[in-house]
Every structure is written in C-alpha cells, then in structure tokens.
C-alpha cells in the first residue's frame, strides 16, 4: 500500500514540477529520488512497516509475491531512469510529463500485481495502457511513432474491450468480481458462461503479453515507439502483465488448470516458435529485440503452463533477469545512431566496457550459465517438466533456446569479431558504472538466485 499511494502522489508531483523547475536535470534527480523512495517504502513494507492503513475490502492484497515483484519493478525502473532518463529529453519537450506518466504506469503495475478482484485488474491494466499509448506516440514529428501509437491504441482498446466482456460474463456466471469467489464455484462443473469469460480474459491477457498469435502489434509498436520508451514497455510493463496473468489464472481459474493447460501449451509453443524464428531474420537490432521479447514471453508462458511452486519462483527470477538484461541492451542501443547489426561492427574496439556489459546481457538473454538468464530458463524448464505431461513442449523450448543463441550471438559477433568504424557516442562515467552494476546484478543472480528468491518465503 505504501508504494501505491506514494507512486500516485509522485506522478502528480512530477506533472507539476515542470511549472516550478525549469532545469531538466533537477526534474530528473527528483524522479530518481522518488523512485528510491518507492523502493525504500516497498522494502519496508516487506519487513512489515506500513504507513497507510486503508480498507480496500480485500480487493488489493499485498502478499510476498506482489511485494517482491514490485521491488523488482522499482529496481528495474530505477536502473532504467539512471541509464536512460537523459535520453527522454531528446524525444520531445515534455520531459516532466514523460516521467509523470512513468510513475502512473508504476501505479498500474502495483495494482495488477496485487489484485484480488477483477475490477482492480481492469483498472490496473487501463492505468498501464493509457500512458503507454501516449508514450508510444510521444515522438510527434516521427511518422512511425504516430503509426505505432495509433496501432497500439486501436488494438489495445480492442483487447481491453474483450477483457471487459470477459469480466462481465464471469460476473454473470459467478455473481462476484473476487478471484476467490470465482474459483470456489468453478470447482464443480463450470458453466459455459464462465468458460467463455475465462477464454476472453485469456485472449486479452495473451494480447497484452504479446503471446502468439496475438503478437502482431508488438514488433511494429516496439519498433515505432521512441527507443527509450520501448525499453520500459518491453520490460517492466510486460513483466507486470505477466504477473497479473499468473495471478489471475492461479487464483481465479486454478481449479480449472487441467482444462486450460493444453491451450496454454499450444500457445506457448507457438509463441516460442514464432518469436525465435522471426527474430533470426531481422536486420535491425531493435526489431530483433522486439521479437526476442515475444520469444522470452514464450518462456515465461511456461510458468503459466506449469503453475506450480517452481513456476512462480522461476517467474520472479525470470522477470528480474529479463528486465535487467533488456534494459541494459536498450540503454546501449539508444546511444547508437545505427540500429542494424552492422552498426555494432567493431563496437568492442571503441567501447570495450559497453561491449563487455552488453555481452553479459546478451548471454543472459540467451540463457548461458553464470547469468541470471540461465537459472530463470532452468526454473521454467524444471517447472514444466514437473507437470509430468507434454514433454514435447519442453523439447520445443530448448530447441528454441538454441535458436535464440543464433540471433543474440550475431550482436556479439558484430561487436567483437567484425571490423567497423564505430559510431561516435557520448558516454558518461555514471552511465558506464550503472551498466557495470546491472551486469554484476545479473551475474550475482546467476550464481546465487537465493538472494532474490528467499524474499518469497521467511
């Protein structure tokens, strides 16, 4: 509850800050301080310190799962702002507004990770989506950005509509918005109304996490949006929606698991296949990362498929590993003028430190041991094997992991083994250090995942 209220307040503060503060760097520092505050109060809440006591009628419950995810999300956002906040200023003139929108999105993130009622879920998803539409189109003079925003808006509202429809049907069947009530009655014979509602929810959530075949918007939107916002969209937001997805299907439809498991298996396999295979053929690193985010979503879907203790633990690790690595790569990418693979040629010679950290991020995404990416993939495979069914899904997953090595390593090859001019780029010391911290975090989590996961219990 601490973080929810403070993030909402911070959003408002940031919005008005541009009236009072003319200097952008002050606004930036304020946002970073605000995020630190969020992180602190959230960690305090994990340790039992609550500043606000509001009766939400159990519509929002901050359990360990939610709090841990919020911590990861705040930490990622903090690192993201440290790395890329300056770049936001280059997108347009409304610097403070962008930061305000990010705080509002965090508000939504907190809601969707801790909802117990479908109303809150809907509210959270909308609070996330609407600022995102704006951020996508924030580069007003760029035609691609506008197109992406429009595309995102139209498809996004359509899927939100589906979700609303689903919620309505479920309410019709069960007479309640609470996940607890929905699951209770579902234990007997589920009514057609409930199944229809569940499917609609499933499809709309699949859309939000860009699972195939609902992924078509993703490459265009990620590619068209200003890179600095793509980074945020592809990591923290996506992870939050995933957490909501898991929560929804665990708590509301957990007893129907066997009914929807096969459907999830098929969608997972499809997502893995389409995401990875298409990423192989990309020429632009940014677009490759968009497809890779689909591919990674496929891996995260495995946790939805398995839905056991391993899966939930693993998802936490996965979102942390994936967010850290992706934020890092995007932070480097933003600094470049040429987004193609060739643009990375000879990068290691001109920017050895950036190249080394980027390599660690890529290795993590590819799932090479010693990085968090490996253990998170490992958890997913373990969870999926733990179900004891659909072994083919696990095989598809590892085959696709091998495919993913191909496109991630193309960047490494370009950086290290190919000769190139190297692009002029201004890189500050703090930027470098933040990247090093990020890389260190990834390796630390890759060796001792317990640091993170022990928060889930105790």
In the complex, the residues that contact another protein under the rule CB under 8 A are 313, 363, 368-370, 374-375, 378, 381-382, 385-386, 394-395, 398-399, 401-402, 405-406, 409, 413, 416-418, 448-450, 453
The candidate with the shortest Cα–Cα distance to 160, out of 204, 225, 191, is: 204
**Cα–Cα dist 14/8, whole Å:** 10
**Cα–Cα dist 196/198, whole Å:** 5
- The distance of closest approach from Cβ of residue 428 to another protein in the complex, given in angstroms and rounded to an integer, is 22
Peptide bond into 213 cis (omega under 30): yes
- The distance of closest approach from Cβ of residue 166 to another protein in the complex, given in angstroms and rounded to an integer, is 35
Select 151 or 418, whichever has its Cβ closest to another protein. Answer: 418
- The distance of closest approach from Cβ of residue 306 to another protein in the complex, given in angstroms and rounded to an integer, is 12
The candidate with the shortest Cα–Cα distance to 122, out of 131, 111, 137, 135, is: 111
- The distance of closest approach from Cβ of residue 215 to another protein in the complex, given in angstroms and rounded to an integer, is 24
Q: How many residues comprise the chain?
A: 458
Distance of CA 154 to the CA centre of its chain: 21
Select 28 or 390, whichever has its Cβ closest to another protein. Answer: 390
**Cα–Cα dist 332/396, whole Å:** 31
Tokens of 348: 């290691």
- The distance of closest approach from Cβ of residue 280 to another protein in the complex, given in angstroms and rounded to an integer, is 11
Select 266 or 368, whichever has its Cβ closest to another protein. Answer: 368
The candidate with the shortest Cα–Cα distance to 403, out of 458, 365, 373, is: 365
Select 273 or 416, whichever has its Cβ closest to another protein. Answer: 416
**Residue partners of 160: CB distance under 8 A and separation at least 6:** 122, 125, 126, 129, 204
- The distance of closest approach from Cβ of residue 376 to another protein in the complex, given in angstroms and rounded to an integer, is 12
Output the DSSP codes for 111-165: HHHHBSBHHHHHHHHHHHHHHHHHHHT--TT-HHHHHHHHHHHHHHHHHHHHHHH
Backbone angles phi, psi at 137, to 5 degrees: -95, 15
- Give the SS3 label for residue 367: coil
- The distance of closest approach from Cβ of residue 149 to another protein in the complex, given in angstroms and rounded to an integer, is 38
The candidate with the shortest Cα–Cα distance to 378, out of 424, 438, 446, is: 446
**Which helix (DSSP H) or strand (DSSP E) does residue 239 occupy?**
helix 238-247
Report the helix count and the strand count for the chain, using DSSP H and E.
Answer: 20, 0
Select 237 or 394, whichever has its Cβ closest to another protein. Answer: 394
- The distance of closest approach from Cβ of residue 255 to another protein in the complex, given in angstroms and rounded to an integer, is 24
Task: Using CA atoms of 24, 103, 148, 222 in order, give the dihedral in degrees to the nearest 10.
Answer: 90
- The distance of closest approach from Cβ of residue 5 to another protein in the complex, given in angstroms and rounded to an integer, is 33
Select 171 or 409, whichever has its Cβ closest to another protein. Answer: 409
Select 94 or 409, whichever has its Cβ closest to another protein. Answer: 409
- The distance of closest approach from Cβ of residue 169 to another protein in the complex, given in angstroms and rounded to an integer, is 38
- The distance of closest approach from Cβ of residue 319 to another protein in the complex, given in angstroms and rounded to an integer, is 17
Determine how many CB atoms are found less than 10 A away from the CB of residue 261. 17
Select 154 or 280, whichever has its Cβ closest to another protein. Answer: 280
Sign of the dihedral defined by the CA atoms of residues 20, 21, 27, 29, in that order: negative
Select 16 or 417, whichever has its Cβ closest to another protein. Answer: 417
Select 25 or 454, whichever has its Cβ closest to another protein. Answer: 454
The answer to whether residues 46 and 70 touch, using CB atoms and an 8 Å cutoff, is no
**Cα–Cα dist 54/51, whole Å:** 10
- Give the SS3 label for residue 115: strand
- The distance of closest approach from Cβ of residue 173 to another protein in the complex, given in angstroms and rounded to an integer, is 37
Select 262 or 399, whichever has its Cβ closest to another protein. Answer: 399
Select 20 or 402, whichever has its Cβ closest to another protein. Answer: 402
């Amino acid at each position: 509850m601490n973080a929810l209220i403070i993030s909402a307040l911070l959003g408002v503060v940031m919005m008005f800050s541009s009236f009072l503060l003319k200097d952008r760097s002050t606004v930036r520092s304020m946002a970073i301080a605000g995020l630190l505050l969020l992180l602190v109060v959230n960690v305090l809440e994990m340790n039992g310190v609550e500043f606000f006591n509001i009766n939400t009628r159990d519509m929002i419950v901050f359990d360990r799962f939610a709090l841990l995810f919020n911590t990861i999300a705040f930490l990622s956002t903090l690192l993201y702002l440290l790395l890329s906040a300056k770049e936001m200023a280059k997108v347009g003139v409304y610097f403070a507004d962008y930061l305000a929108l990010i705080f509002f999105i965090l508000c939504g993130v907190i809601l969707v990770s801790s909802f117990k009622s479908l109303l809150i879920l809907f509210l959270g998803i909308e609070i996330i989506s609407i600022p995102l539409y704006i951020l996508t189109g924030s580069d007003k003079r760029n035609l691609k950005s506008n197109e992406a925003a429009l595309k995102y808006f139209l498809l996004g509202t359509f899927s939100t509509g589906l979700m609303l429809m689903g919620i309505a049907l479920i309410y019709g069947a069960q007479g309640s918005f609470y996940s607890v009530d929905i699951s209770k009655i579902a234990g007997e014979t589920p009514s057609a109304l409930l199944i229809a509602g569940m499917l609609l929810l499933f499809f709309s959530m699949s859309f939000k996490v860009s699972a195939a075949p609902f992924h078509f918007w993703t490459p265009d939107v990620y590619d068209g949006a200003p890179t600095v916002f793509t980074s945020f969209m592809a990591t923290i937001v996506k992870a939050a929606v995933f957490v909501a997805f898991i929560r929804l299907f665990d708590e509301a439809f957990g007893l129907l698991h066997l009914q929807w498991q096969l459907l999830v298996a098929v969608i997972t396999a499809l997502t893995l296949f389409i995401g990875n295979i298409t990423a192989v053929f990309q020429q632009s690193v940014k677009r490759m990362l968009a497809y890779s985010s689909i591919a990674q979503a496929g891996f995260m879907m495995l946790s939805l498929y398995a839905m056991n203790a391993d899966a939930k633990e693993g998802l936490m690790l996965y979102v942390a590993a994936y967010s850290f690595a992706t934020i890092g790569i995007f932070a480097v990418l933003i600094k470049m003028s040429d987004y193609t693979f060739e643009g990375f040629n000879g990068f290691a010679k001109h920017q050895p430190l950036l190249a080394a950290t980027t390599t660690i991020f890529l290795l993590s995404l590819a799932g090479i041991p010693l990085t968090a990416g490996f253990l998170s993939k490992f958890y997913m495979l373990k969870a999926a094997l733990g179900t004891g069914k659909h072994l083919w899904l696990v095989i598809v997953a590892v085959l696709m992991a091998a495919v993913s090595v191909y496109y991630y390593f193309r960047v490494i090859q370009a950086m290290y083994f190919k000769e190139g001019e190297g692009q002029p780029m201004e890189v500050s010391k703090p930027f470098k250090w933040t990247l090093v911290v990020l890389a260190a975090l990834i390796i630390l989590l890759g060796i001792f995942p317990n640091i993170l996961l022990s928060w889930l219990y105790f």
